[in-house]
Structure 1
Amino acid sequence: MKSKGLSRRAFLKHSLFAVKALVTLAGATGIYAIFGERYWIQNKTIRLSFTRYPASFQGVRIVQFSDTHIGKYYSLARLQEMVEQVQRQKPDIICFTGDLFDSTYGEINHDVIPILSQLQAHMGKFAVLGNHDMRLDAKGVVDILEKSGFTVLVNENRSILHGNERIRVVGIDEMFHGKPNLPLALQGVAKDDFVLLLAHEPDFADTSIKFPIDLQLSGHSHGGQIRIPFYGSLFTPDLGQKYSIGLYAFAESEFRTYTNRGIGTTLFPIRFNCRPEITSFILETKMT
């Protein structure tokens, strides 16, 4: 009986220790997710090759950022830090794929203009709107982006010339609240043009692949924002579930789509196993 009593006390002691350890771990994880990871931006470089990519553009650096969600949980000071990180990538082209402000915990703020104006890319700065931008004030967000030096593309395209060659940057209207029209956006695009598409919602790729698009850049999903090891995302939004994070290739096609994890957060000011991201793309001409 005595030995059993000692075993029971030992069991209770070890159980209490385990509970305390789990509580401590959970607390540490929560602190990390709220105050650590969501500000720990990862700079990624992706190298891809395409048959239609013009040789004179080799070495051009396309830098994407997305989903800043400026507001209660993402301050102008943090935006300034992000802008400085983007500039350190020495971008030739900058692409922003939507959700400048958070429609739940943010508001239109013209104080972002002098910050975003610091972004410099000699081949251009391009943007599309996200669903939060549309819900908040689409015209107001367009005005801010344009005053910050961005060309906002809504079912339209622009040429970027380099030497005697060009690429096309196409922007599609937002899917939830806008009227995306890819045939309209592609007007004037030649069959041999390399086409870079900006589309806020990544699942638009199922439409893009039916058209002469080479590379789609998207955001929206935040990569899931909270990703459990060996399980994946706890939640991904509509139109960001099929292509929720990273690079996707498609059978019998050179078409690629990339989903950036974004900068800010939505719903909860938490990131876990899903750092915010700035992505640089170095594209090359595929030899045939």
Structure 2
Amino acid sequence: MTKIRVLNPEDKKSFVTRNKFPGEEGNPFDRILRHLQKINQISIFLFFILLFLSAGVFSLFNIENWLLLVLFSVTDSLIIGFLPKLKISFGPYKSQVLVLLFLRALFIWFSFPINLIFQILGSLLVFYGFIQEPSELRITTIYHKFPTVSSPFNFLHISDVHLEQPGIREKKLLRIVESRKPEFILFTGDFLNLSNIRDNKAIANIISIFNQINKISPIYYVSGSSAVDVEDTIKIIEKNLNPTRLNNSNILLNHGGNNINIIGITCTHQPHIDIKQLPPLLQEGHINILLYHSPDLVYELRREDRIDLMLSGHTHGGQVRLPIIGAIFTGSLYGRKLQKGLYQIHDTLLYISRGIGLEGLGAPRVRFLCSPEIIEWKINS
């Protein structure tokens, strides 16, 4: 049984005076990623000098600790540099290795051999977080009942593909869709990796992948964050995609006598503004399913809107999670309150997908305790 977290409508916040929003270019997290990306522009020679000197500074030039940090950072470089060969991720390695160096330095001052054990453990975690877990595209199956359902139906929810190049996750995605053959598929945005938003090859690849999937089951989608699904790229994708875009619009479906209203609202990450698009799209007597990239819109919903199900992504489930604590960062206006999985507010069920892909630019291409997922919904009466 999937746990449902109940949200309190009184926790709703006002963002009228806010200037910067998650998912927009220039927000604090976006600036950090772009600063990290600058590291990837330096030459290999200068990078390893920087790595060597940084390890010295972090170890206060203690020769044993200095050499340990250099040795294990070189190991990190080899692991991350090999990821494109494995078709797991395709990001530049330099910024990722420096981030890992900083984390390793936190444990270097334990006495020997404890510091060595921590460094070996670190390498095992790098292997797991950069190779093992990002490769594990899992299926989360949810069984749910709606009172207006006349006969069972099923569909898939996918989100945050963040394509760099076609790789192991995309291959598994196609295989899963082919095996499940859902009646339809709902996609909640972020086609491309932040590093590839205007990469013509990546754009052509994502169009090809989605058109292949659409031949199996029809796709209805909304665009994602404006910093990722940038307007000029989305226009190219929309023009060449066979799937149906819902751009502040809806589509009525009938599956087995079930009247289903799929609503798609384009996400600006300003929920207090975007919610104004909803009222004309509602259909009384239908199963109302709302697609919106960020989960933050959920607090704007009213009971009388009668949204049965809201589907979102954006947070990646935090991408890196810690036991007990959960997500370190989510990119939500509500912080860690909205992370992943099932939530309920009023009579509306919300599902936040962990997504399929990874953050881009200078961010580590890592997942920890937060594997990529596809959600299979099995709806009964």
Smaller-chain TM-score range?
Answer: 0.7 to 0.9
5+ unaligned residues in a row in structure 1: which ranges? 1-13
1:99-147 alpha-carbon deviations (Å, 9 max, x no partner): 1012345434223222221114777311111115x55532432542463
Partner residue of 1:223?
A: 317
Partner residue of 1:199?
A: 292
Change over 3 Å in CA distance of 1:40–1:104 after alignment to 2: same
1:282 paired to 2:378: yes
For residue 167 of structure 2, the aligned residue among 77, 96, 105 is 77
Partner residue of 2:306?
A: 212
SS in 2 for 1:16: coil
SS in 2 for 1:280: strand
Partner residue of 2:338?
A: 243
Range with greater deviation from structure 2 (192-201 or 79-88): 79-88
Larger strand percent: 1
Change over 3 Å in CA distance of 1:169–1:161 after alignment to 2: same
How far did 1:84 drift? Answer: 2.1
Change over 3 Å in CA distance of 1:172–1:180 after alignment to 2: farther
Partner residue of 1:268?
A: 364
Higher relative contact order (CA 8 A, sep 6+): 1
Identity of aligned residues (%): 27
5+ unaligned residues in a row in structure 2: which ranges? 1-109
1:101 paired to 2:195: no
Provide the alpha-carbon RMSD of the alignment: 2.5
Matched-pair contact (CA < 8 Å) for 1:61–1:90: no
SS in 2 for 1:161: strand
How far did 1:51 drift? Answer: 2.0
Aligned length, in residue pairs: 263
How far did 1:24 drift? Answer: 0.8
In 1, the alpha carbon distance for the partners of 2:299 and 2:174 equals 32
Change over 3 Å in CA distance of 1:263–1:163 after alignment to 2: closer
Partner residue of 1:7?
A: none
Change over 3 Å in CA distance of 1:214–1:194 after alignment to 2: same
Q: How does 1:5-84 map to 2 (within 5 A)?
A: 16-52=112-148, 54-56=149-151, 58=152, 60-71=153-164, 75-78=165-168, 79-84=170-175
Larger helix percent: 2
Partner residue of 2:243?
A: 150
1:194-224 alpha-carbon deviations (Å, 9 max, x no partner): 1011110012111134422110000000000
TM, length-normalised to structure 1 = 0.82
- Where do 4+ consecutive residues of structure 1 move more than 6 Å? none
